[in-house]
Amino acid sequence: MDPRRACWESSSEDVTRPLLPVHEDRPAGRSCCSALSSVLANRYLAVASGPAACALICALGDLGGHPAARNMLGVLAWVFLWWITDAVPLAVASMAPLFLFPAFGISSSDAVAKAYMDDVISLVLGSFILALAIEHYSIHRRLALNITSLFCGDPVKPHLLLLGICGTTVFISMWIHNTPCTVMMIQVATGILQRFPRDQLEGGADARELQRFSKALVLGITYASTIGGMATLTGTGANIILVGMWSTYFPEQRPITFSSWMSFGLPMALILFVALWATLCLMYCTKNTGRVLSAYLDRSHLRRELSLMGPMAFAEKMVLAVFGALIVLWMTRSLTDDIPGWAVLFDGKVGDGTVTILMTTLLFIIPSGKSDGEKLMDWGKCRKLQWHIILLLGAGFAIADGFKSSGLTDILSSGLGFLKGAPALAIAPAVCLFSGLITEFTSDDATATLVLPLLAELGKSIGVHPLLLMVPGTVGSQLSYLLPTATPGNVVGFGTGYITIKDMVLTGIPMKLAGIAALTILLPTLGSLVFGMDSAAVAL
């Protein structure tokens, strides 16, 4: 009798429970398979890939007698393999430079730790807390319903409806990170799509019209959130990484501020938004779409949902007031050379992160008006803070510092000398395309972290202003339209079940081409004016 079974069943035999678990003998082959399954399930191979690549580079690499540069290359391979393979959580992989840089002699522990909290990180942290406040009080939903009901039409006009929903998504994504914006707006879209008889989408002309419009709505929100994030520094991490690396590599040059980036990013985003709207209308809307939608959707439905939310409470109004004041402070901190902005009152010692944290602090001071002692925000409401993104940004800045302190930038600069003399305006679209291809397989932020240090050195090597290459690299990393793996927002849209990879590719290709074309036109014209790229590259 099996001893384990005897412990559970009554028997006439005198069977006692063993003090230790009894294991039956297992075939050797099954044990090996179990061990292999355990290794794969725990991602031990992925975990080992980082240290193995680092050890291989450090043992075999020869960078002209520069051990610190060689070690930096090995550490870079370690961190990026952990990012790409998800060997450990993203936040944990992003903290790896905190122990790898000092251990390999790249920089001191104090120096690398400072990269994880500077003015740019403060800007992101404060923006995330403000976004949580907007989400907590459902301000985003009220805004979406107001604008959508305005554009819905009576009878339904699908072109205007797409314009309203996608436009709302772009606006919200300008101030909130792309992923939470996509999640918020997909909820609004789901409320609309649930009115359609999804179980009847298999046949009939009307069913096909509903299916096409459902795809257009989900694709529109997914891509509009990416487009909106391009317009401002707070919209996406890639823009923040550009600002941080620019100040790290070229601290003596004019910094990229919130207002200066928005002067370039907003026109770029508007062009892409028009391209997205035109693409969706041409590919997914026909003359019969409005007639079919009118049977399931009308303006009164949206207004009814809005009325159920009731009038705006005091807390919502105060959050909007803080949000509006912060936008004004962002836009007016630094204006032009002739009109310096309010930062001159503080001798230029304040940054965008300074006012962001200041205004965010007010949320923890202003009462909500709901009960005695309750404030607009408390730390319990901040449990959903996206620390993994904050740590990823810090890792990107630490890597940029490591490139400089280890001497790897000088080696890369000498190795890229053969490109000297190549026309910069021809290289910029190629850089955008190159970055746009990489970003389809890894996140926007990881792509920017990977390519921007290389592009900074490339700019110095070929004798052009580095922003002529770094800006295309940043924009290209955000043209993530083809695959679900390109960005978490794509995963959110793909997870609804309304779209397929084929839909994303067919819609994403013209969007990616439109982004490259818009960049090629705007960068040497508007970009040169905004970023001061007409200055001589040798001055850098």
The 10 Å Cβ neighbour count of residue 19 is: 6
Say if residues 180 and 279 touch (Cβ distance below 8 Å). Answer: no
* Residue 461 confidence (pLDDT): 73
Q: What is the pLDDT of residues 362-387, one digit of tens each?
A: 999 999 888 878 899 999 888 888 78
Which of the four pLDDT bands, split at 50, 70 and 90, describes residue 130?
confident
Structure tokens given for 79: 């961190």
How far is 313 from 462, CA to CA, in rounded Å? 58
* Residue 15 confidence (pLDDT): 42
- Torsion sign over Cα 266, 268, 273, 274: positive
Least confident of 184-193, 195-204, 240-249: 195-204
Greater pLDDT, 56 or 442 = 56
How far is 94 from 80, CA to CA, in rounded Å? 9
- Cis, peptide link before residue 155, omega less than 30° from 0: yes
How far is 298 from 454, CA to CA, in rounded Å? 52
Q: What is the pLDDT of residues 383-408, one digit of tens each?
A: 888 788 788 778 877 887 887 788 87
What are φ and ψ of residue 375, in 5° steps?
Answer: -100, 170
Which of the four pLDDT bands, split at 50, 70 and 90, describes residue 35?
low
In three-state secondary structure terms, 427 is helix
In three-state secondary structure terms, 375 is strand
Most confident by average pLDDT, 263-277, 320-334, 431-445, 498-512: 263-277
DSSP for residue 234: G
Beta bridge partners of residue 367, listed in sequence order: 375
Residues in the chain: 540
What average pLDDT does the structure give for the chain?
Answer: 80
How far is 362 from 340, CA to CA, in rounded Å? 26
**Burial of 383 from C-beta contacts in 10 A (0-12 / 13-18 / 19+):** exposed
CA 235 to each of CA 5, 150, 468: distance values in angstroms, whole numbers, following the listed order: 61, 25, 21
DSSP for residue 468: H
- Which among 237, 240, 254, 229 is positioned nearest to 352, based on CA atoms? 240
How far is 285 from 101, CA to CA, in rounded Å? 54
Which of the four pLDDT bands, split at 50, 70 and 90, describes residue 436?
confident
- The domain segmentation of the chain, as residue ranges, is 46-109, 120-531
Q: What is the pLDDT of residues 322-370, one digit of tens each?
A: 988 988 888 787 766 566 778 888 887 888 788 889 999 999 999 988 8
* Residue 20 confidence (pLDDT): 41
Structure tokens given for 389: 């993104």
How far is 146 from 152, CA to CA, in rounded Å? 10
Greater pLDDT, 276 or 147 = 276
